[in-house]
Amino acid sequence: MCGIVGYIGNKKASPILINGLLRLEYRGYDSAGIATIEENEISVMKNQGRVNSLYELEGINDLKGTIGIAHTRWATHGKPSKENSHPHQDNSNSFAVVHNGIIENYNELREFLTEKGYNFLSNTDTEVIPNLIHYYFNKDENNDENRILRAVKSACSDLIGSYAIEILSKYNKNNMIVVRKDSPLVIGKGNGENYISSDIPAILSYTKDFYLLDDNEIVKLSRNKVMFYDENLKEIQKPVKSIEWGASSAEKGEYADFMLKEIYEQPKAIRETIGAKLDNGIIEIQGLSLDREYIKSLNKIYIIACGTAMHAGLVAKTIFEKLCKIPVEVDIASEFRYRNPLIDENTLSIYITQSGETADTIAALKLAKSKKSKTIAISNVIGSSITREADYSIYTHAGPEIAVASTKAYTSQVILLAILGMYFAQKLGKTDKEIISNLKKDILQLPNQIEEVLKSSDKVKQFAKKVYKEKDMFFLGRGVDYAVSMEGSLKLKEISYIHSESYAAGELKHGPIALIENNITVIITMTNSKLVEKSISNVQEVITRGAKVLAITSEEIKNNGFEEIIKIPKTNPLISPVLSVIPMQILAYYISKEKGLDVDKPRNLAKSVTVE
C-alpha cells in the first residue's frame, strides 16, 4: 500500500527519488520521505502530505548524495504524521529504512528492543526494523564487508508479516540492501547505476531492464553490480528481464487524468488482450495447457478476486456456466481464505488481479493450492507475485494502469475470461460450434464498438453535471447487467464519494425500493433482449416514485419517462459489460471532476492492496 523507490549511481539521487515517488503516489499519499548519504552521514527529510510537500522542506534541493531511498505512505500503523513517515532510523542514526507491508509481531519486537535499551519515536511497526538491524550489527564481531548483510538477514528472520524493505547505512555509502517477502519490489538495471521500485512503471523512463525478486531474497546493490542472496545468504543468479512497455504508457500525455486516458485506452487494451488468441480455429492461450480429461473431471470452478477484479469474475460466472456447463462460484478473496472452502483436486480455481500483488488474492491461491486445486492467475503485470505462485499464469495486456480506479483492467479481464471460457468449452466439445464462432466474431468487434460508445461521452458528461451534487444513487440490472452495475456503483463510490448501491432489478421491491424518493438518480443497464421488458417494468416502479433514470441499453426502447438514454452497440449479452461499463466509468469520472476531486488518487484508497 506504500510506494518505495531507491537509487544508487553517480547522479544526484534526490530528484530521481522524488520523481519516482510522484509516479508511485497512487500507492499511498498521506506522507513521504527520502534519505540520502551526505558526507558519511544519513540525511533524512520527510513530511506529512503528498509527495510534492517534500519540496517545502528547507534544504531538500541541497542534498547531493548519489545513493538514496524514498517512500510514499498509506498509513496502517500510526496516523499520518511527520513522525510516522518513512524513512525510519535506528537510535544511533546508523541505518535508515523504508518499508512497505506490515510487521505483525512488531509489539513483541518493540518490547524486546526496549528491554535492550532502544527508544521509539513513532507509532509505526516499521521502526523496529532499523533498530533490530542495529542490534544484530552490534552483536556481530566480524567486521568484514558482509556485516550489514548478516545483520539484515538476522533481523528479517525475526520479522513476521510482509515486507519490501530498503536499507541505507552510514557504514557503507557504496551499497544499499533490499529485501522482499510478500510485498512487491523490482530492481531496474542501468549503466553504472541501479534503481529500485515497488513497480515497473515508476522507473520505466530510466530503464527497461529489470530483475524480479522472489520472496525472502536479499539484494546488495552497488553502482556497477547487483548481488542476490537467498535467505541463508547463499549467492544466487537472477536473469534480467526486458519489459516491452514504452515509457509513455506511464505518462498522462494529452489527458487531464490517468483515469480518462485509461478509459480511452480500452479499445487498444482489448485488442492487445485478444492478441492472436482467436486467429485460428483452435483457441490457444499462451501459458495455459489443460487437457480435455482434466477439464471433464472438474466438479466446480472457483473464481476469486477483490473489488473490480471480482466484478469481472461475476461476468465470467455467467459465461463459463453457459458455455461449459460447470458450476462456478465467485468469492471475495478475503472471505474465501477464512471460510474453509470446499475444494479438492477436481476444483479449478482462477484468481483475477490486475496488480498481481493483492495480499488476500495471493493468500487465497496458496490455500487452494494446499488443497490440491489447480490454480490459474490472471494478471496485468508480468512477473508479479501471484504469477510466481500459480500453476498457470495468463495475462491481460492492458498496459500500466496508474489511476486508482480500475477501468481498462476490468474490460480486459472480462475479455480474457470470455476467451478462457471458450477455450474450456472447445476442449469439452459440449457447446455448439456456431455459438463459439459467433461469440468470437462478437469479441473481435468490441474494440470498434467501444470507440463508438466513447463518442457518446458528451451526453454522459451533461448528465453528470445534473446529478453531481446528489448524496445517493442506485444501479440496477438483471443477469450480467446486474454484475456490471456493481462495477458502475463501485466506480462512483470510489472517485465521487457519492453513496451508491447496486441491486438486481427484480430484487428492488423486496426492500430497497423504500429508499426511492423524489428526484433520486437511478442508472439501469439493459443489454439482453430476453430480459429487457422485465427490467423496464422494474424501472417503471422507480420512475413512478419520482426517480430520475439514466438507461444504458443496446435495445430499441421507447422513452417512457427516462431522463436520458445512452445507446450502446448490440453485442452478445455475455460480453456486453465491456460496452455498458464505459458510460458508467465516464459518469463517475465527470461527477468527480464536477466536484473538484482528485480523480486519480481518491481519498483513503491505494492502487495495490498488499496488506490484508
Binding residues (CB under 6 A) for ligand F6R: these are 306-309, 353-355, 358, 361, 405-406, 490, 494, 608-609
Which of residues 43 and 355 has its CB atom nearest to ligand F6R in the complex? 355
Contact 176, 6 (CB under 8 A): yes
Least distance (Å) between residue 309 CB and ligand F6R: 4
Which of residues 48 and 406 has its CB atom nearest to ligand F6R in the complex? 406
Which of residues 303 and 516 has its CB atom nearest to ligand F6R in the complex? 303
Active site annotation includes 441? no
Contact 469, 501 (CB under 8 A): no
Task: Strand 95-103: give its sheet, edge to edge.
Answer: 88-89, 95-103, 161-169, 172-181, 217-221, 226-229, 235-236
Least distance (Å) between residue 380 CB and ligand F6R: 8
Half-sphere exposure of 489 (CA within 13 A, CB side): 25
Cell 523507490, located at residue = 5
Helix (H, G, I), strand (E, B) or coil at 4: strand
Q: Which residue is nearest to ligand F6R (CB)?
A: 307
Which of residues 309 and 348 has its CB atom nearest to ligand F6R in the complex? 309
Which of residues 489 and 525 has its CB atom nearest to ligand F6R in the complex? 489
334 Cβ neighbours under 8 A, 6+ residues apart = 306, 360, 612
Least distance (Å) between residue 574 CB and ligand F6R: 21
Query: Around Cβ 405, how many Cβ atoms within 10 Å?
Result: 31
From the candidates 2, 156, 306, 324, which is the catalytic residue? Answer: 2
Which of residues 552 and 584 has its CB atom nearest to ligand F6R in the complex? 584
Which of residues 170 and 311 has its CB atom nearest to ligand F6R in the complex? 311
DSSP 389-436: TSSEEEE-------SSS-SHHHHHHHHHHHHHHHHHHHHHT-S-HHHH
Least distance (Å) between residue 494 CB and ligand F6R: 6
Contact 555, 527 (CB under 8 A): yes
CA-atom Rg of the chain in angstroms: 26
Question: β-strands 194-197, 3-8: how paired?
Answer: antiparallel
323 Cβ neighbours under 8 A, 6+ residues apart = 421, 422, 424, 425, 431, 435, 436, 439
The neighbouring-strand residues paired with 394 are: 378
Active site annotation includes 268? no
Burial (0-12, 13-18, 19+ Cβ within 10 Å), 192: exposed
556 Cβ neighbours under 8 A, 6+ residues apart = none
Q: Which residues are catalytic?
A: 2, 607
